[in-house]
Structure 1
Amino acid sequence: MKPDVLFLLHLPPAIHGSAIVGLSIKESEKINHAFNGRFINLLLSKEVNDSGNLSLLKLFKALKISFQLIKVLLQKKPDVCYLALTTTGTAFFKDFLLIVLLKLFRIPLVYHLHNKGFAQKENSSFFRKLFRFTFKDSKVIILSRQLFSDVAAYVSPEQVEICPNGVARVAGDVAPRANAVPRILFLSNLIKSKGIIVLLEACVVLKNRNCIFQCVIAGGDGDISGTQLNEMIHSLGLEEHVSYVGSKFGQEKDRVFKSADLFVFPTYYNAETFGLVNAEAMQYRLPVVSTFEGGIPDIVEDGVTGFLVPQRDVGALADKLELLLKDEDLRNRMGQAGYQRYENEFTQERFENRLIEIMQRVLDERSINEN
């Protein structure tokens, strides 16, 4: 008989890393074959730019999720619960209420952390008490060894498992490309802390250096709208070099990746843990220019699969982009190295196998403790 696992996770909409991973878990044949899974969607916002905003509708949804959980627990207690825990903001308190319910029912908990922020609250005795209660007698999945410091005050190394996110393979092979005008791709929601304005300023530097390039920006509205972005492009005089193409999904997303020569993700988002889009770009044999944030140094190998630059450093970003724009051989070498790293570390199959191993280990420990 398959173990009964309750998955509390994020599902689209809105579209962001945690929701993409949540959907991949829900739709995974391998995971559903290993476990009898029941799923509850924790997301309160349908749009990225609505995240973090408190409203009566969200309070109603939070209560609805709580009652949904109580109903599931009363019908049949799961053997273990997987929870994609939100670490900051009002969503943490919504999750905390669910944690209290789960602990009352003595359900073993496995937290999967797709963002960070616990260390930022260490000076608050109130939050320290909440976090100690949250992590007591639980398992914690982090995406990179770089992220342990965020939870080190509340969990022991023995409680922690490392499970990098995975990206599903695209259909067919992706050959190196060489556009006559090298093309830079940025693909993420239009959020300031993802580095979109830093990128525009770097493009101004590249233009002033007479670099030959095109920069394509793809993504949905965040705290910057598409209209505002186009206004910025115009005000900086970048119309001939930078274009905004809106949100891209499915085959359209595949096409923008395949038409690019290099990928850029200059994030300084302080809750960034992984940067799933970097792994996506590596699958397309694109060299990646990103930042020293969260677990990104465990994805992008600086000087091998791309470059890492300090956050908000326009000059450093422009320098690395210029280097790649002018050296096709370097782009191809780094792109191929990134593809091999993707194949070795970041496929969807590896993620699913690792997650199943972790959940099965928790179930085995539970069985031993009960006996």
Structure 2
Amino acid sequence: MEPQSKEKYKVLFVLHLPPPVHGAAIANSYIKNSKVVNSDHETDYVSLATNTVLDQTGKGSFKKLITFVSILKTLTRLLRSKKYDLCYVSLTASGPAFYKDAIVVALLKLFKQKIIYHFHNKGVSFTKQNAVNEALYKFVFKNTKVILLSKYLYPDIEKYVSEDDVYYCPYGIPASTIVRDSVGFKEADNKLSLLYLSNMMIEKGVFVLLEACSILKSKNIAFKCNFVGGWTDITPEEFENYLVKHDLQNVVVAHGPKYAEEKLAFFDNSDVFIFPTFYHYETFGLVNLEAMQHSIPIISTKEGGIPDVVVDGETGFLVNKQSPAELAERIEYFASHPMEAIIMGEKGKKRFDEHFTMEKFEKNISEIITKAISNI
């Protein structure tokens, strides 16, 4: 007699999917395309995205309103046609998008659904304290579970959520098609090759790194810094003007957004990855995982859950936010200790393999879903 197949739970995923491309959307696409999640459970997916361009995020428009109404209609149709065991929602922590998501939550609660939130950002704790927000957060979090990326992020929601109702699940990313050969400086003439790869945003630390580059040049440190990412609140003209003003045209280059093999090539040709973020919604920094996977040491900040990713002094360095002098000092350390860069990069790759693979992420998400259904 063949063994009886295990009954699958019915799970509705309501999440932000690309476009536009950002960390949360990428992570959600990993879940949507996960063979583990979709084989372990019976799944349906609804995207919460109401715009396709990153710089339209947070801005209202009639077109976005029509899209949101269409999303609500789709959800209503699904909720009427099927009884789900759990609804997974990638809830926005604060701002206008939170109010939009709260309407989605109200609809799910109207249909008496069990809900688990997966936070890809933060901001609950620094939302303006008033009676409306207080009531909304209490309503949204009542009788629900929460997935966070790191223990460092729990203080953001502790006012409304008991830690007994929280699951921790760090991101994982797909295996790279490039195996990096770490054999010293990638640039000619022993120049240290630096890489920034993220959206070109002020709060991601673009100008912090540029100021650090200016410091390095004044000290005659041999380096080249590549910026890779889409333009958001910084324009190409503003960036170029900074380079001209500080005489950095020969050592700093902005390449715009790159994808697939082109993006991987930048990792393959870099010695140190720089992510000096102070973005108020930063939770994890998926790009740090990409750098670790390519055996590149990282210099980042103590923002969000990044200390759970980058081990200070072991797989790279964590510097204070908005501190170009400290950032320059750490870059200079790698310039004068190239073997340390290689050693730290290799330790980062080992840490990645142990904790941050796609297989581990998929398995963790699937198991958390099963646990949450039993515990709500």
TM-score of the two chains, using structure 2 as the length reference: 0.95
Return closer, same or farther for 1:167/1:207 CA change in 2, 3 Å cut-off: same
Structure 2 residue identity aligned to 1:193: E
Once residues 28 and 325 of structure 1 are traced to their aligned partners in structure 2, the CA distance between those partners, rounded to angstroms, is 40
Pick the aligned partner of 1:215 from 222, 225, 232: 225
Give the share of equivalent positions with the same residue, in percent. 39
Do the aligned partners of 1:88 and 1:117 also contact (CA within 8 Å) in 2? yes
Structure 2 residue identity aligned to 1:90: P
Three-state SS of the structure 2 residue aligned to 1:237 is coil
Report the Cα offset of residue 55 of structure 1.
1.4
Do the aligned partners of 1:12 and 1:20 also contact (CA within 8 Å) in 2? yes
Once residues 139 and 122 of structure 1 are traced to their aligned partners in structure 2, the CA distance between those partners, rounded to angstroms, is 23
Three-state SS of the structure 1 residue aligned to 2:126 is helix
1:122-141 to structure 2, matched below 5 A, reads 123-141=129-147
Once residues 246 and 91 of structure 2 are traced to their aligned partners in structure 1, the CA distance between those partners, rounded to angstroms, is 40
Three-state SS of the structure 2 residue aligned to 1:154 is coil
Counterpart residue number, 1:331 = 341
Q: Which runs of 5 or more structure 1 residues have no equivalent in the other structure?
A: 367-371
Does residue 245 of structure 1 match 2:281?
Answer: no
Structure 2 residue identity aligned to 1:225: T
Q: Which runs of 5 or more structure 2 residues have no equivalent in the other structure?
A: 1-6
Pick the aligned partner of 1:26 from 5, 28, 32: 32
Do the aligned partners of 2:178 and 2:264 also contact (CA within 8 Å) in 1? no
Once residues 45 and 143 of structure 1 are traced to their aligned partners in structure 2, the CA distance between those partners, rounded to angstroms, is 25
Does residue 92 of structure 1 match 2:102?
Answer: no
| Deviates further, 189-198 or 218-227 | 218-227
How many positions carry a matched residue from both structures? 366
Does residue 255 of structure 1 match 2:270?
Answer: no
Counterpart residue number, 2:3 = none
Does residue 303 of structure 1 match 2:313?
Answer: yes
1:106-125 to structure 2, matched below 5 A, reads 106-121=112-127, 123-125=129-131
Three-state SS of the structure 1 residue aligned to 2:92 is coil
Three-state SS of the structure 2 residue aligned to 1:38 is strand
Structure 1 residue identity aligned to 2:17: L
Once residues 36 and 149 of structure 2 are traced to their aligned partners in structure 1, the CA distance between those partners, rounded to angstroms, is 20
Once residues 30 and 151 of structure 2 are traced to their aligned partners in structure 1, the CA distance between those partners, rounded to angstroms, is 22
Once residues 298 and 259 of structure 1 are traced to their aligned partners in structure 2, the CA distance between those partners, rounded to angstroms, is 26
Pick the aligned partner of 1:105 from 92, 101, 111: 111
Report the Cα offset of residue 244 of structure 1.
0.8
Once residues 217 and 350 of structure 2 are traced to their aligned partners in structure 1, the CA distance between those partners, rounded to angstroms, is 33
Report the Cα offset of residue 264 of structure 1.
0.2
Counterpart residue number, 1:188 = 198
Return closer, same or farther for 1:74/1:153 CA change in 2, 3 Å cut-off: same
Counterpart residue number, 1:159 = 165
Report the Cα offset of residue 188 of structure 1.
0.3
Once residues 23 and 246 of structure 1 are traced to their aligned partners in structure 2, the CA distance between those partners, rounded to angstroms, is 23
Do the aligned partners of 1:18 and 1:114 also contact (CA within 8 Å) in 2? yes
Once residues 121 and 221 of structure 1 are traced to their aligned partners in structure 2, the CA distance between those partners, rounded to angstroms, is 27
RMSD, aligned CA: 1.2
Three-state SS of the structure 1 residue aligned to 2:179 is coil
Report the Cα offset of residue 172 of structure 1.
5.0
Once residues 283 and 18 of structure 2 are traced to their aligned partners in structure 1, the CA distance between those partners, rounded to angstroms, is 19
Structure 2 residue identity aligned to 1:206: L
Report the Cα offset of residue 63 of structure 1.
1.3
TM-score of the two chains, using structure 1 as the length reference: 0.96
Three-state SS of the structure 2 residue aligned to 1:308 is strand
Structure 2 residue identity aligned to 1:91: A
